Structure 1
Amino acid sequence: MYENTRVTNAAGIVGSATLLSRIFGFLRDVVIAGYFGAGLGSDAFFVAFRIPNLLRRLFAEGSLSIAFIPVFTEYLTNKGK
């Protein structure tokens, strides 16, 4: 029972932090759109944000890390045997 409460609380914290992050991201986009308008300046800004976010999603959060980390850990564990 206690473990379920801890998991539920942790999930609530992560969910709340994600929601807050999405709200701040939306507000950032609104401010940038209001400052630059629709044009090359805002397009360049959004492209500059997309490239690092793509790399972060691919390597840190994406399927590459989900597949790579267990395989690499198993390789390192079995390398000494």
Structure 2
Amino acid sequence: MQQTSDINETKTMFRSTGIVGLMTLLSRILGLVRDIFFARLFGAFPIMDAFFVAFKIPNSFRRFFAEGAFSRAFI
């Protein structure tokens, strides 16, 4: 009985790991598509640089506070 439970737990873990991996891959691909779209739309002009700066500032705050970097700095 314990062996069956361990096998099911292992299958669930591998399935969950695969789903997270696929979603991460999908996220990266969509990010690449977004960058290609904006490069095509704006080109290599100062407005594109302003867009990237405006996008990075709130993203940096999210990474610093929400993803635990702030709490890890004090450990």
The two structures have a TM-score, normalised by structure 1, of 0.71
The separation in 2 between residues aligned to 1:13 and 1:32, in whole angstroms, is: 28
Aligned residues: 68
Does 1:52 find its partner at 2:74?
no
Give distance in 2, aligned partners of 1:23 and 1:17. Answer: 10
Q: Which amino acid aligns with 1:49?
A: F
The percentage of aligned residue pairs carrying the same residue is 51
Unaligned runs of at least 5 residues, structure 1? 72-81
RMSD: 1.9
**TM-score normalised per structure 2:** 0.76
SS in 2 for 1:38: coil
Aligned residue number for residue 3 of structure 2: none
Q: Which amino acid aligns with 1:28?
A: R
Alignment of 1:12-23 (within 5 A): 12-23=18-29
Equivalent residue letter for 2:36: V
**Given residue 55 of structure 1, which amino acid in structure 2 is its aligned partner?**
F
Correspondence 1:7 to 2:18 = no
1:42 and 2:42 equivalent? Answer: no
Q: List alignment gaps of at least 5 residues for structure 2.
A: 1-6
User: Using the alignment, how far apart are the partners of 2:11 and 2:34 within structure 1?
Assistant: 34
